[in-house]
């Protein structure tokens, strides 16, 4: 299987491995971290199953989410993860998601990791357009996307029944030609 390795100033984005489990579980079990995510807090066992389920995944399969580790180069520890999905019918369209551990937020890591992922997808994977859907109350994610000049394209009003109530979402997007600028 071809392994991913995106290297930025402070980070390595790579495949998840089972030795990431303790760090992965630390933030995936925090309700503040999972508040706006499509999953709830996870047990250690569920985290281990999730990491193992990623092992055989290969980038490039239409319609499949694949989760990558974000490692701090200096400490060699997992500090977060990011997900990429290629569109089911056109693999030049990608969707992304990003999580940074509560222990490491607000240090510019998400922005640095996302910039590395955009370079990789646009420059080497022939991706034309990248989107992210975020909860309209998720200020951190919204600011992250705005900080990299993603365009807000959509505001869906109470389009999702989410964690016990109707939620609204924004869609953000970036085109390859916009990123090149
Ligand atoms: C969203 C998230 C990934 C941001 O990670 P981060 O490493 O703290 O973000 P960065 O430090 O790279 O900051 C990126 C930008 O967002 C802004 N930002 C980050 N957290 C913020 C917050 N809590 N409130 C307001 N702005 C925030 C930063 O100021 C920065 O903007 P700037 O470059 O214009 O100064 C992180 O908060 C997180 O993992 N949240 C929980 C998971 C989640 O909801 N993910 C989205 C669903 S896919």
Q: What is the pLDDT of residues 88-129, one digit of tens each?
A: 999 999 999 999 999 999 999 999 999 999 999 999 999 999
Percent of the chain with pLDDT over 90: 96
Distance between CA 69 and CA 71 in Å, rounded? 6
pTM higher than 0.75: yes
Q: Are 47 and 25 in contact (CB under 8 A)?
A: yes
CA of 1 from ligand 1 middle (Å) equals: 32
Q: What is the pLDDT of residues 61-94, one digit of tens each?
A: 999 999 999 999 999 999 999 999 999 999 999 9
CA of 141 from ligand 1 middle (Å) equals: 5
What are the start-end ranges of the H helices in 16-163?
21-28, 31-34, 44-54, 109-119, 139-147
Ligand 1 proximity of 140 Cβ (cutoff 6 Å): yes
The pLDDT score that the predictor gives to residue 1 is: 66
**Which residue's structure tokens are 């955009």?**
118
CA of 180 from ligand 1 middle (Å) equals: 23
pLDDT band at 56 (very low <50, low <70, confident <90, very high): confident
What are the backbone dihedrals phi and psi of residue 176, each rounded to the nearest 5 degrees, phi first? -55, -45
Ligand 1 proximity of 148 Cβ (cutoff 6 Å): no
Q: In what order do the strands lie in the sheet with 78-86?
A: 5-7, 11-15, 65-72, 78-86, 93-100, 129-135, 165-175, 151-162
Distance between CA 99 and CA 109 in Å, rounded? 10
Domains of the chain with CATH codes: 5-131 (3.40.630.30)
CA of 101 from ligand 1 middle (Å) equals: 11
Q: Are 82 and 114 in contact (CB under 8 A)?
A: yes
Q: What is the pLDDT of residues 139-172, one digit of tens each?
A: 999 999 999 999 999 999 999 999 999 999 999 9
CA-CA-CA-CA torsion for 161, 142, 171, 87, nearest 10 degrees?
-100
Strand partners for 174: 130
What are the backbone dihedrals phi and psi of residue 150, each rounded to the nearest 5 degrees, phi first? -65, 145
Q: Are 136 and 168 in contact (CB under 8 A)?
A: yes
Ligand 1 proximity of 72 Cβ (cutoff 6 Å): no
């Amino acid at each position: 299987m071809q392994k991913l390795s995106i290297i930025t100033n402070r980070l390595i984005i790579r495949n998840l491995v089972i030795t990431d489990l303790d760090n992965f579980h630390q933030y995936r079990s925090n309700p503040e971290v999972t508040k706006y995510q499509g999953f709830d807090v996870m047990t250690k066992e569920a985290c281990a199953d999730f990491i193992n389920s990623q092992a055989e995944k290969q980038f490039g399969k239409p319609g499949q989410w694949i989760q990558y580790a974000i490692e701090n180069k200096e400490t060699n520890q997992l500090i977060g993860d990011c997900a990429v999905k290629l569109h089911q019918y056109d693999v030049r369209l990608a969707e992304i998601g990003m999580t940074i551990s509560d222990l490491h937020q607000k240090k510019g890591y998400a922005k640095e990791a996302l910039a590395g992922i955009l370079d990789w997808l646009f420059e080497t994977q022939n991706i034309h357009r990248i989107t992210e859907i975020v909860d309209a109350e998720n200020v951190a994610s919204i600011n992250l996307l705005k900080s990299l000049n993603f365009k807000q394209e959509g505001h869906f009003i109470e389009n999702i029944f989410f964690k016990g109530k109707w939620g609204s979402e924004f869609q953000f997007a970036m085109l390859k030609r916009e990123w090149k600028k």
